[in-house]
Amino acid sequence: MKPTFKEYLINEATYHGWREPEATDFQFGKTVRSPQLKRGMLLGIKYQNSIKFIIEVLGFTGNDKKYGEGGILYNSAKEMLSTNKVSTLKELEELDHKNEYGYGHYMKARDLVDKKVGPWFYIFKGKWVIGSSADTVTFIEAKYVPSKDGPRVLSQVHETPFTDRQEQRFLTTLGQDVDKRDSWPSPHRITKMVKDVSPKAKKIGSGGYSDAYGRDRSSMVIKLTHGGDGAETLRFLKWAKQKKNPHLPKVYSIKKIQSAPKPTEFDDFWGSSDDVNVYARMERLVPLHPNKYKWKPEHVPFLEWMFLTDHGDRPEYIVGGDKWRKLKSQASRQRIYSSKLVQALKMVTRLAGIDDFDELDITLISDQIAHNLMVRPSTGEIVIHDPF
């Protein structure tokens, strides 16, 4: 199934940075007729002699619920018509008129600029219309073509999950809960604590012992690590905070939270009294998709290092045979034999105090999301994340 426009932007963010589209980032083409409408189409909506907004078609509803509240049933207008055994919107409208007012077929869409979603389009006199005045709409093909300088970065990109006051309230509540229960709270309970303090914050990622919380548009997250991985996470984040290598995460604050004072029956699952629990405020990173990432000649030493240390596939599997040969040739001409990323990996290995590279918890497999290797959206740089 074709990805939604939002999914497309998220995939682009893997190596370009998260971007917010503006109306000026779209070009308009030919008129789209009603039978051609289908899920995933990007369209300019024209009525009253001008294009009012730009949408992505999400699908078409049935007539079993009022005002399209029953949800999407059809992926295209053609499917909607054929399923109801009619050939035109006029015939479908006549079918709907047998029902109570409001029980008709609607087209649901997402506004690509202000992000609102709704079943705004309905059928009147055999045409798609919008609004209480039943304005007839014309659908104009739209193409996403970012302007030369690129779409503007999200206006709220620096919004933090918590204000300083909210952070203090959360840490106080968390500490009191640990003291009261003599155990680390469940992920569900921590999520509730986060929402109680900052309703717009939500869980945006999780691992075996860690959970990350942020807002939809924030470039910063809070990371909570509990249980057996806490001590290693604390050591790595404190060390990374002092370094200036661009391939290490930006850590703004770290706090060690007192563990439960005595063992409980939940120790094996939630962490024992000897465990270290960590609260960190750090930059937001996005997943690294190896087979989608835009590899460059400067990545050649990294790809070779990952393969030679048994942390990754052969570079040609990840990049593609012809492209890998081209990248190697370019790297050779540019005399690229190492990189800051490889240097960062070697520093992390020394920090871990190990001689065996296999003990680093990182992997790069061609058809899987990279494990503990992520991407900084604003620059596209690969960042080592929690590698122990």
Residue type at 291 in one-letter notation: N
Residue with more model confidence, 199 or 10:
199
* DSSP annotation of 2: P
Considering the chain, what percentage of its residues have pLDDT values greater than 90? 35
pLDDT above 80: residue 236: yes
Q: What is the CA radius of gyration of the chain?
A: 26
Averaged pLDDT, 205-216: 80
Q: For 3, what's the count of Cα atoms within 13 Å in the CB-facing half-sphere?
A: 8
CATH 3.30.200 range(s) for the chain read 164-286
Give per-residue pLDDT as tens, 129-175: 999 889 999 999 998 876 544 444 333 345 677 888 888 888 888 88
d(CA 129, CA 71) in angstroms, rounded, equals: 19
- The answer for residues whose C-beta is within 8 angstroms of residue 387's C-beta and 6 or more apart is 236, 348, 352, 360, 361, 362, 372
Do 342 and 349 touch, CB atoms closer than 8 A?
Answer: no
Which pLDDT does position 234 carry in this prediction? 85
Q: Position of tokens 């959206």?
A: 377
pTM: 0.58
pLDDT of 4 reads: 67
Chain Cα centroid distance, residue 10: 5
pLDDT band at 273 (very low <50, low <70, confident <90, very high): very low
pLDDT interval class at 326 (50, 70, 90): very high
State in words which class domain 164-286 has. alpha beta
